[in-house]
Chain A
């Protein structure tokens, strides 16, 4: 999409941030990995690629010198803003450990780069689960924004090439919201279920590890229409 068009729409989106408009307003492609250390699970490594319009909206706040290059000071401001503003949203991450909810309160090791007019966030979501001999631990994690302001799609690190602007009402603050927004968006941009590799990194050789994707109807949101997929990890010491 041309940068002028992106800026035009993003400015409108920013200006109308409090209006109730058609969802979603932002699109994030998320690559996800379980990170193991010596003791067990250390957390979830996530890499988010923000869509171009959300990127412009964020840059409008942090890129003070308007050169579209983030210097150290601007990066620090972006990290602080992101940590604060996404805290209430639990960093879009829902986790369950052995079927008990685990609230996500913080992220660590945040960094951001701007590539091809898109911001990419890289960060760790700490979630420590110690391995117990003879008792496999089960961890489920899903990444989604239950307000449906943002749609989070799972994909590879470099992005899956989904173009949210194929939906003419994406990030269009003047279109009223409707319960059919997800269906419209999904069909227009061609969303599908994630069936790629589930990454587990770090000290993986110390553990017996099983992974799978599961649907989580209990996490369904936006009038129950969107059922998130969860990354499931089961592990025990070798």
Chain B
């Protein structure tokens, strides 16, 4: 494949990952008038305030309908699981949770863009891509589950309410951390660029720095996953908590599949592109600098947008 074609593919892939994320950054929050007040300074809407590009909206609505169908099927299995906790209904419940996770992660807010940006900016192998994706999704579901279980079992309050109150705080911490991480990565990228071409050529196919990978996964996954939280709430209410915990793990595994697809393709395309560009030192220099800095900037800018558009 020619370098410019690979570069185009890489660009298109990254853009695809970014599209739904921009939705979060620009979207206006819809407040439930029955249980909470409207934000006092909400700007009047002058046009469609919804960030999904028009061509993606029908697709996302279809995905939502599919998720709805899966959730309804899961809800229908609850009674049977209560009668026979480890029976066939339990296995179906887990399988549906896995499928739900795969589709659920296609929506905005599940770390796809960060997986792309991270591996654009940093070196990484396919194994690192898988590790990053699954760690992120594990933290993502743990965060929501801890709030729901903590709220319900420890604080003896509504699990949903605990998530509603503490979720935005965790999300804001996550966005702040990502904003800073992006800056750190940008500084490190500049340092690598100044270190000389030989070092860069060696650096790109190398294994990721595991500390930075794990910390980024933690920062991204800190935002509680509403899908996993829902399953726990539902399981708590119907007295099938062990099945709920199992389902949450399956959801994380399902979401990991989707996110890792984004991470692996980014790593593969980036690696291929840099290998092809290596034949021309000037091309390689420019490509390496652009990828490293745009990835770091992407993490920082998205963190910044989300930080300032979110409210606690």
Contact = CB atoms under 8 A, between A and B. Distances in A.
A88 B233 contact: no
Interface residues of B, number: 53
A81 B168 CA distance: 21
Mostly helix, strand, loop or mixed at chain B's interface? Answer: helix
A9 to B, nearest CB: 7
B64 A174 contact: yes
B23 A89 contact: no
B79 A145 contact: no
Interface stretch (A10-18, A198-206, A210-218): A10-18
A123 to B, nearest CB: 13
A60 B160 contact: yes
Nearest to B229: A15
Contacts of B104: 174
A223 B161 CA distance: 32
A44 B146 CA distance: 46
A23 B32 CA distance: 12
Given A147-B38, A176-B52, A85 B33 contact: yes
B15 interface: no
B35 interface: yes
A227 interface: no
Contacts of B265: none
B304 to A, nearest CB: 19
A60 B157 CA distance: 10
B61 A15 contact: no
Contact of B233 (A15, A18, A145): A15
Contact of A17 (B31, B63, B64): B31
A189 B277 CA distance: 58
Interface stretch (A93-101, A165-173, A228-236): A165-173
B192 interface: no
B164 A14 contact: yes
Nearest to B148: A15
B226 interface: yes
A223 B34 CA distance: 23
Contacts of B176: none
Given A20-B27, A147-B30, A147-B38, A12 B71 contact: yes
Interface stretch (A30-38, A50-58, A102-110, A129-137): A50-58
Nearest to B103: A174
A5 B75 contact: yes
Interface string B24-50: 000111111111111010000001111
A18 B223 CA distance: 13
B67 interface: yes
Nearest to B224: A15
25 contacts: A11-B230, A14-B32, A14-B35, A14-B164, A17-B35, A19-B27, A20-B50, A58-B34, A58-B35, A82-B34, A85-B36, A88-B33, A89-B33, A149-B30, A149-B31, A149-B32, A172-B68, A174-B107, A175-B64, A175-B65, A175-B68, A176-B64, A178-B57, A178-B61, A179-B50
